[in-house]
Amino acid sequence: MPTFRSGALAASAAVAVSFAAFTGTAFAQKKYDTGASDTEIKIGNIMPYSGPASAYGAIGKTEEAYFRMINDQGGINGRKINFISYDDAYSPPKAVEQARKLVESDEVLAVFNPLGTPSNTAIQKYLNAKKVPQLFVATGASKWNDPKHFPWTIGWQPSYQSEAQIYVKYILKEKPNAKVAILYQNDDFGKDYLKGTLDGFGDKAKSMVIAEEAYEISEPSIDGHIVKLKALDPDVLLIYTTPKFGAQTIRKTAELGWKPMQILTNVSASVGSVMKPAGFDNSQGVLSAAYAKDPTDPQWDNDPKFKNWHAFVDKYMPGASKSDSNLVYGYGAAATLVEVLKRCGDDLTRANVMKQAASLKDFEPDTLLPGIKINTSPTDFAPISQLQMMRFKGERWDLFGDIISADTTAAD
Amino acid sequence: MSALQEVVNDTQPVETTPKKYMALGTTASVVVVLLLCLAPLIAKNFVIFQMTMVLIYAIAVLALNILTGGSGQFSLGQSAFYAVGAYSSAILMENFGVNYALTLPISGAICFLCGYLFGLPALRLSGIYLALATFALATAMPQLLKLHYFEHWTGGVQGLVITKPDAPFGLPMSQDMWLYYFVLVVSMVIYVASVNLLKSRSGRAMMAIRDNEIAASAMGVDVARYKTLAFGVSAGITGVAGGLGAIAVQFVAPDSYTIQLAIALFLGMVVGGVGWLPGSIVGAAFIVFVPNIAEEFSKGLSGAVFGVILVLIIFLLPHGSRQIAYTVQNWVHKLGRRG
């Protein structure tokens, strides 16, 4: 099959190819959809580089650096990745505009790891109608695992709800008669955790959950909420907060001399940005769950796989803060995309990208905890669905227990 | 009277715009409308979508222009009315199956009412205090939309997804192109109505209040009535823009309508030229395209680049696009005289 250079020919080739895929005829030759060629694979991405969530922009920068590294190593099956990343300032209307720009103007093969539940919800219908893969979205909502209604959208990280259910299982096992208080952020993130927790308790929620306390992300301090919760005297405190508030909560409970069982969301389980500011003395015994390695936890310093991450940051992101867990996240997500594209071989159609993304078997990026593997299938669009419980001890997290699979079933 | 009070009471917030300069001349209007009609025939669907967004923001900026340029009241709370309009349209379409075009007047009416009611307490405030009160409205709105009690309709933090309308009567055009022309017609109707409003008795009353409240009331202008009316009209038009925005984006969520949007609309008004209605579309183009241009320079510093562009514009063109339009107009006149 000759290589098409002109746009019109390439377009007609794409039509022919998708027709071929539709009728089930197998071509042994190279197959391309818009955005892929003999020399290049165009991948789109949307990140909040500006605005209230701009800290997450580091994920986009990490991915850009990772693909630069892959290109330096010769690319994927000889093709370079052209990573086009736009800013949506965490605004859904802007995300729609940028997604359309990526698909219709830049003509990317797939949109990879766009960040934020609102932004992804805004572009999901459009991308599915256009049959453009919305790969490995950077949000912990559970709704991305819905291959029946949205066959072109796939998640990546464990969902907040499944994480919450792991905590509930743990509480029911350790303290079956506990009085539970839940502190959560009043947004999609906090409410997903709340729902997962209440679903996990089921009928027992009424008797066991004695308080659901919400705070706004705009509040300067949440001390007042902690004092209020302490007055109710619960023995388990679930802390579904972003890092700043996580540190405040741990510090305040210690100041009040209150010692409930504290379970902290994985989002805030950073040694450098939460446990240290909260005070190591105050943090002893706090529980959480994890799927990725914490860059500020010294136990991974000599881990041979994590050394790859260190080498990558040193070479491709000099000056970047290694305590930023977004750099770990971006590395893992980018590695997953590279694995999918490698498996696509010379069949770089959108349908095949989706097919390969939905048939990953035991893939282990360098940054995931030992034993946690990425698995997907045509009915399971939740790539990472395992977590391990951990307890804070000394100056680091102590992993304990088995790796728990929290596979949420796909939506009907 | 303390120095602060003097500053607050004596400065006229908005520079006086003579009435005849509020709209474009006939020739210029025809040229602009023709350009807007023909542009989608050569543009890609994505560009048409961007132009639709420009028109929608232009309606919202125009609404703010009526309030600030017309009656001299500040508002940093336009995003709240925009949100109410967007949610009204979205809920009517998705939960009650109302046709998208019919939702717009309803959204407009709901927002008019909200704006009118908000205008009543706002009467007691002026200048920077009014700006602060409306600012509070803008910050409160996303939280109100998340409230548990409304979640059944608003979809809470997850928002609502809307189906995009097809072109009616089997017209051979894409959804984007149809929506563009639909928005264009709505915005032209609103533009013409606004120009007429400002040229009417009510408009003159509003401008009299803007220029000197005491003198206006001495002349027999019912200050309270016209101030609240200006708020209501402005909110109503913003609500229509919000409804159109929801249909174009196909999604509403609390995060779409933060204070950022209110500030963007305010910026659009300043860049377009306060009190100059045709400037609204220039201001809208600014808030849609300039962030993209800033991003081209640098991802990490896009906010700073945007700021530099903004400062340059304010420094070089303190009257916004109106200044350019006047300069061009003068050249044309000079050329005409020579010829």
pLDDT by residue (tens digit) across A32-89? Answer: 998 999 999 999 999 998 877 788 889 999 999 999 999 999 999 999 999 999 999 8
According to DSSP, the residues that pair with A287 across neighbouring strands are: A263, A391
Q: Which of the four pLDDT bands, split at 50, 70 and 90, describes residue B2?
A: very low
All residues of chain B having their beta carbon less than 8 Å from the beta carbon of residue A94 are 291
Contact predicate B162/B251, CB 8 Å: yes
Q: Does the pLDDT of residue A27 top 80, yes or no?
A: no
Higher per-residue confidence, A411 vs A41: A41
User: Terminus-to-terminus CA distance in chain A, angstroms?
Assistant: 42
Higher per-residue confidence, B23 vs A102: A102
* pLDDT given at position B110: 96
Contact predicate A237/A259, CB 8 Å: no
Is B156 touching A (CB cutoff 8 A)? yes
Q: What percent of chain B has pLDDT over 90?
A: 33
All residues of chain A having their beta carbon less than 8 Å from the beta carbon of residue B255 are 90-92, 116, 118
| Helical spans, DSSP H, in A187-242 | 188-201, 205-208, 223-231
Distance CA B275, CA B21 (A): 9
* pLDDT given at position B20: 52
Looking at this protein, which amino acid is placed at residue A169? K
Dihedral sign from CA coordinates of A273, A276, A282, A288 = positive
- B255 is a domain residue: yes
A174 vs chain B: nearest CA distance in angstroms? 32
- B11 is a domain residue: no
**Vertex A94 angle, CA A89 and A98, to 5°:** 105
Tell me the mean pLDDT in the region B13-20: 53
Contact predicate A372/A384, CB 8 Å: yes
* pLDDT given at position A140: 87
Query: What does residue A98 show for φ and ψ, rounded to 5 degrees?
Result: -70, -35
- B5 is a domain residue: no
Distance CA B294, CA B296 (A): 5
User: Pick from A52, A121, A218: which is nearest to B251 by CB?
Assistant: A121
**Vertex A189 angle, CA A183 and A192, to 5°:** 80
Is B298 touching A (CB cutoff 8 A)? no
Is B300 touching A (CB cutoff 8 A)? yes
Q: What percent of chain A has pLDDT over 90?
A: 64
All residues of chain B having their beta carbon less than 8 Å from the beta carbon of residue A93 are 53, 245, 249, 251, 256
* pLDDT given at position A383: 92
Contact predicate B210/B14, CB 8 Å: yes
| Helical spans, DSSP H, in B16-77 | 26-42, 45-65, 71
Q: Does the pLDDT of residue A23 top 50, yes or no?
A: no
Contact predicate A36/A348, CB 8 Å: yes
Tell me the mean pLDDT in the region B147-154: 77
All residues of chain A having their beta carbon less than 8 Å from the beta carbon of residue B157 are 117-118, 187-188, 191
Class of residue B290 by CB neighbours under 10 A (exposed 0-12, middle 13-18, buried 19+): middle
Q: Widest CA span of chain B, in angstroms?
A: 69
- B310 is a domain residue: yes
Q: Which domain holds residue B86?
A: 24-338
All residues of chain B having their beta carbon less than 8 Å from the beta carbon of residue A216 are 143
Q: Does the pLDDT of residue A232 top 50, yes or no?
A: yes
Tell me the mean pLDDT in the region A194-200: 91
User: Pick from B261, B288, B303: which is nearest to A50 by CB?
Assistant: B303
Distance CA B193, CA B196 (A): 5
Q: Closest Cα partner for B258 from A56, A225, A92?
A: A92
Q: How many CB pairs under 8 A join A and B?
A: 95
> How large is the C-alpha radius of gyration of chain B?
20
- B15 is a domain residue: no
All residues of chain B having their beta carbon less than 8 Å from the beta carbon of residue A85 are 299
B279 vs chain A: nearest CA distance in angstroms? 22
* pLDDT given at position A6: 46
Tell me the mean pLDDT in the region B109-119: 92
B210 contacts: CB under 8 Å, gap ≥ 6: B12, B13, B14, B16, B70, B71, B72
Q: Does the pLDDT of residue A145 top 60, yes or no?
A: yes
Tell me the mean pLDDT in the region A94-110: 93
Q: What is the pLDDT of residues B280-324, one digit of tens each?
A: 999 999 999 988 888 888 777 777 888 898 899 888 888 888 888
Tell me the mean pLDDT in the region B52-58: 95
Distance CA A107, CA A33 (A): 10
All residues of chain B having their beta carbon less than 8 Å from the beta carbon of residue A53 are none
Which range, of A13-22, A69-78, B131-140, averages the lowest pLDDT? Answer: A13-22
Which range, of A29-38, A75-84, A177-186, A399-408, averages the lowest pLDDT? Answer: A399-408
Distance CA A143, CA A121 (A): 9
According to DSSP, the residues that pair with A399 across neighbouring strands are: A390
Interface of A with B (CB under 8 A): 49-52, 57, 60-61, 85-87, 89-94, 96-97, 100-101, 103-105, 116-118, 121-122, 124-126, 143, 186-188, 191, 216, 218
Is B230 touching A (CB cutoff 8 A)? no
- Mean pLDDT over each residue of chain A, to the nearest integer: 88
Q: Does the pLDDT of residue B24 top 80, yes or no?
A: no
Q: Which of the four pLDDT bands, split at 50, 70 and 90, describes residue A26?
A: very low
Query: What does residue A389 show for φ and ψ, rounded to 5 degrees?
Result: -70, 150
The separation between CA A59 and the C-alpha centre of its own chain, rounded to angstroms, equals 10
B144-170 burial: b if 16+ Cβ within 10 Å, else e: ebbeeeeeeebbbbbbbbbebbebeee
Q: What is the pLDDT of residues A335-378, one digit of tens each?
A: 999 999 999 999 999 999 999 999 999 999 999 999 999 999 99
Q: Does the pLDDT of residue B23 top 70, yes or no?
A: no
Tokens in use for A24? 């089930």
Q: What is the pLDDT of residues B242-255, one digit of tens each?
A: 999 999 998 998 88
Q: What is the pLDDT of residues A241-292, one digit of tens each?
A: 988 899 999 999 999 999 999 999 998 888 888 898 999 999 999 999 999 9
* pLDDT given at position A2: 44
Question: Does the predicted interface ipTM exceed a cut of 0.85?
Answer: no
Higher per-residue confidence, B85 vs B313: B85
* pLDDT given at position A363: 94
Tokens in use for A383? 């790539």
Higher per-residue confidence, A33 vs B335: A33
Class of residue B122 by CB neighbours under 10 A (exposed 0-12, middle 13-18, buried 19+): buried
* pLDDT given at position A186: 84
Range picked from A230-239, B30-39, B324-333 for highest mean pLDDT: A230-239
Verify whether the Cβ–Cβ distance A100 to B46 is below 8 Å.
yes
Verify whether the Cβ–Cβ distance B49 to A85 is below 8 Å.
no
Query: pTM higher than 0.95, yes or no?
Result: no
Looking at this protein, which amino acid is placed at residue A118? P
Q: Does the pLDDT of residue B10 top 80, yes or no?
A: no
* pLDDT given at position A132: 96
Tokens in use for A336? 């997953």
Number of structural domains chain B divides into: 1
Contact predicate A108/A102, CB 8 Å: yes
User: Pick from B46, B251, B300: which is nearest to A104 by CB?
Assistant: B46
Tell me the mean pLDDT in the region A374-385: 92
Contact predicate A365/A49, CB 8 Å: no
Tell me the mean pLDDT in the region B69-81: 89
Q: Other C-beta atoms within 10 Å of A254: how many?
A: 17
* pLDDT given at position A142: 83
Helices (H) and strands (E) in chain B, counts: 16, 2
Distance CA A312, CA B226 (A): 64
Q: Closest Cα partner for A196 from A209, A215, A207?
A: A209
Q: Does the pLDDT of residue B92 top 80, yes or no?
A: yes
All residues of chain A having their beta carbon less than 8 Å from the beta carbon of residue B261 are 91
Preferred mutation among B299, B305, B309, B310 to probe A, highest tally of A CBs within 10 A = B299
B198 contacts: CB under 8 Å, gap ≥ 6: B19, B22, B66, B70, B206, B207, B277
Q: Which of the four pLDDT bands, split at 50, 70 and 90, describes residue A233?
A: very high
Verify whether the Cβ–Cβ distance B260 to A89 is below 8 Å.
yes
User: Pick from B253, B261, B302: which is nearest to A121 by CB?
Assistant: B253
Q: Other C-beta atoms within 10 Å of B72: how many?
A: 27
3-state SS, residue B77 = coil
Distance CA A158, CA A406 (A): 8
Q: What percent of chain A has pLDDT over 70?
A: 92
- B13 is a domain residue: no
Tell me the mean pLDDT in the region B122-126: 78
Distance CA B339, CA B335 (A): 6
Q: What is the CATH number of the domain that holds B274?
A: 1.10.3470
Verify whether the Cβ–Cβ distance B158 to A97 is below 8 Å.
no
Contact predicate A222/A215, CB 8 Å: yes
Class of residue A89 by CB neighbours under 10 A (exposed 0-12, middle 13-18, buried 19+): buried
Q: Which of the four pLDDT bands, split at 50, 70 and 90, describes residue B119?
A: confident
Is B12 touching A (CB cutoff 8 A)? no
- Mean pLDDT over each residue of chain B, to the nearest integer: 85
Query: What does residue A212 show for φ and ψ, rounded to 5 degrees?
Result: -125, 105
All residues of chain B having their beta carbon less than 8 Å from the beta carbon of residue A91 are 255-256, 258, 260-261
- B213 is a domain residue: yes
Dihedral sign from CA coordinates of B321, B323, B328, B329 = positive
Verify whether the Cβ–Cβ distance A122 to B260 is below 8 Å.
no
Is B247 touching A (CB cutoff 8 A)? no
A54 vs chain B: nearest CA distance in angstroms? 9
A190-216 burial: b if 16+ Cβ within 10 Å, else e: bbbbbebbbebbeebeeebbbbebbbe
User: Pick from A87, A90, A191: which is nearest to B302 by CB?
Assistant: A87
Query: What does residue A175 show for φ and ψ, rounded to 5 degrees?
Result: -135, 75
All residues of chain B having their beta carbon less than 8 Å from the beta carbon of residue A45 are none
Is B126 touching A (CB cutoff 8 A)? no
* pLDDT given at position B328: 83
B49 vs chain A: nearest CA distance in angstroms? 8
Q: Other C-beta atoms within 10 Å of B173: how many?
A: 15
Tell how strand A134-135 and strand A180-185 pair up.
unpaired
- B43 is a domain residue: yes
Distance CA B294, CA A84 (A): 16
Query: What does residue A387 show for φ and ψ, rounded to 5 degrees?
Result: -145, 160
Q: Does the pLDDT of residue B12 top 80, yes or no?
A: no
B46 vs chain A: nearest CA distance in angstroms? 6
